[in-house]
Structure 1
Amino acid sequence: MLELHQISRSFSGTKVLDEVSFAVPRGALTGFVGANGAGKTTTMRIIMGLLSANSGHVSLDGKTLSTPTRPSFGYMPEERGLYPKQPIIDQLIYLGQLHSLSRATARERAMELLSRFGLEHRAKSKLESLSLGNQQRVQVAAALLHEPDVLVLDEPFSGLDPLAVDAMSSILADYAARGVPVLFSSHQLDLLDTLVDHLVIIQDGKIRANASAQDLRAAHTSRYQLSLGADAGWLRTEPGVEVIDLSGSNALVSFATVADSQRVLAHALSRGNVTEFAVHRPALADIYREIIA
């Protein structure tokens, strides 16, 4: 397990990380989300040793990370760091050799990864000749060449088309299934529901949530979706009812007690048709928006 312990960091007297603590479990995909400037990239750079923390430390399986440990990590920065005028396969082989792979092994792994992204036919092309989305695929391949023990990816889905998103999701799931801690940031909140097992939410340099997707949903399932045969505005005046969202005959509500829910259901039936009365399963994107509101 990768763990951050009370990491703080300031720039020019401004604190950008404030005692950040969370875990990235093995066997799970951990999403790291927050607005621009929330502290995601700074946190990832500290994990990788590219920045130092003013206080706190990072550990892997209980041992504080040191410089010799991090070369086994796979890192993809948000800013692309490959060479635009160099052939893709040449620079992937070069990067593999920097990780102590033989030239033959580096070529084999590079071609395998390019094939998974549908780019094997562009192996000899210069990077700059690819679309931005395909450049992103190559950047991810570079992070995976040496079969890392930990994966830290900053916006890996940025610019990818749906097929590439599927390929990326499959690759990350494969690594998680091997027991590799996988931490990735994303602004594409729709991916959270289908991909992440664990979610970390950061806002203004502070961790606002750090839990499994299952636990987060369980903490937000005290809501009900109602679809009525007529306008649902009367719910606003019902005792024991909190109206979270209301549009015409549809409402999202929470009840103070189970008795309140049964009373409101009976009242709704007496007023006409009830086409839906069900526990609302919240999307992780909705939970994120509520937490940072």
Structure 2
Amino acid sequence: MNGDTPGLAPAPAYALEGHGLVKTFGSFRAVDGVDIAVPAGTIYGVLGPNGAGKTTLLRTLLGIIDPDEGHRSLLGAEQPLRMARQVGYLPEERGLYPSMKAYEAIAFMGALRGLPLRQGRVRAREMLEGHGMGAAINKPIRQLSKGMAQTVQLFGTIIHEPRLIVLDEPFSGLDAINQEKLERLIREQAQRGVTVLFSTHVIAHAERLCERVAIVAGGRIRFEGTVDDARAQLRSQVRLRTRASDGAWREALPDDATQEEGAWHFALPDGGIEPLLRALLDGDAGIESLSIERPGLHDAFVAIAGAAAAQQMRDDAEREALV
């Protein structure tokens, strides 16, 4: 038994695939020869600063726009729009009718994706109540906070129970509390076996949520793989503080060791920390503290995409915080 329904084609291993994708606008190549494969049932993040090509890539994969070169498939279909009703897509540009009640807005979005309106109204009420927003059920959108309105639009994106959810900068404009709620909702969907693909310029969200990431800069994918694979691009860093300031043990320190504020900093040696520990103990260095810090996804992003792209990501986040 393989779990597939008799007579039906097995579910594809990848929810989304793109090969050699190119999309130009005039002389500008927004997507420049991209290969990408999003495994079914995973949470997958596309990281990069604003203008890196993330939105164009997502829209090309979904069939909203066609590539100039290359081909793509969505849930096994070579024509992505054929699978539109099995996809929940939240674009970066938000849009709700301000006079529509919250539950009606959710049901309406479900109806656009084939869910009967009566069934959508029932589900919408259940979703709002289940996420502590019962008081907002009958409120018009114009009376909701920005975070609540964005949550309503997200519920409208998933109410028809899609197999694939694509979120373009979903955390943009949300405060910390609503960001945490969104992360929890994404995990809930993944636990149901839904594939979740989202773009972001905030690395922390991807580091907490994603099984795999693609780092995008200048319309190209600079890295694709697991978060651990990205971190493995850099060696762990050692921080050492000793009571003795000198001695034969210093010859055991790596060549890249530097001293700052009384502590030694260097990359973890290829042979591990044990040979150095023996030298420190035998040389009476007097170890006060020793820590090994694994590189974070931000460190990996800087190494892969460059400091300029990382700085632009920080600038993007700071501008958002001021809005």
Alignment of 1:91-106 (within 5 A): 91-106=105-120
- What is the one-letter code of the residue matched to 2:73? S
Answer yes or no: is 1:287 the counterpart of 2:300.
Answer: yes
Alignment of 1:210-249 (within 5 A): 210-220=224-234, 222-229=235-242, 240-242=254-256, 247-249=260-262
Answer yes or no: is 1:201 the counterpart of 2:235.
Answer: no
CA-to-partner distance for each residue in 1:50-88, whole Å, 9 max, x for gaps?
Answer: 211111122135442332212321000111121123222
Unaligned runs of 5+ in 1: none
**Aligned partners of 1:204 and 1:249: how far apart in 2?**
41
Query: Once structures 1 and 2 are overlaid, which stretch shifts more, 178-187 or 55-64?
Result: 55-64
Change (3 A) 1:266 1:88: same
**Aligned partners of 1:252 and 1:22: how far apart in 2?**
37
**Aligned partners of 1:259 and 1:80: how far apart in 2?**
50
TM normalised by structure 1 equals: 0.86
Structure 2 equivalent of residue 24 of structure 1: 38
**Aligned partners of 1:84 and 1:237: how far apart in 2?**
70
- What is the one-letter code of the residue matched to 1:179? G
**Aligned partners of 1:246 and 1:141: how far apart in 2?**
52
Unaligned runs of 5+ in 2: 1-13, 307-323
**Aligned partners of 1:216 and 1:258: how far apart in 2?**
21
**How far does residue 256 in structure 1 lie from its aligned partner after superposition?**
5.7
Change (3 A) 1:289 1:55: same
**How far does residue 33 in structure 1 lie from its aligned partner after superposition?**
0.7
276, 279, 285: which one aligns with 1:266 = 279
Change (3 A) 1:97 1:55: same
Structure 2 equivalent of residue 79 of structure 1: 93
**Aligned sequence identity (%):** 31
Answer yes or no: is 1:174 the counterpart of 2:188.
Answer: yes
Structure 2 equivalent of residue 41 of structure 1: 55
Contact 2:18 2:71 in 1 (8 A): yes
**How far does residue 140 in structure 1 lie from its aligned partner after superposition?**
0.8
- What is the one-letter code of the residue matched to 1:28? T
Structure 1 equivalent of residue 316 of structure 2: none
- What is the one-letter code of the residue matched to 2:237? Y
- What is the one-letter code of the residue matched to 1:287? A
**Aligned partners of 2:223 and 2:208: how far apart in 1?**
19
Contact 1:109 1:145 in 2 (8 A): yes
Q: CA RMSD in A?
A: 3.0
Matched positions, count: 290
Query: Once structures 1 and 2 are overlaid, which stretch shifts more, 16-25 or 165-174?
Result: 165-174
Query: Once structures 1 and 2 are overlaid, which stretch shifts more, 159-168 or 4-13?
Result: 159-168
Change (3 A) 1:277 1:46: same
Change (3 A) 1:195 1:67: closer
**How far does residue 272 in structure 1 lie from its aligned partner after superposition?**
4.0
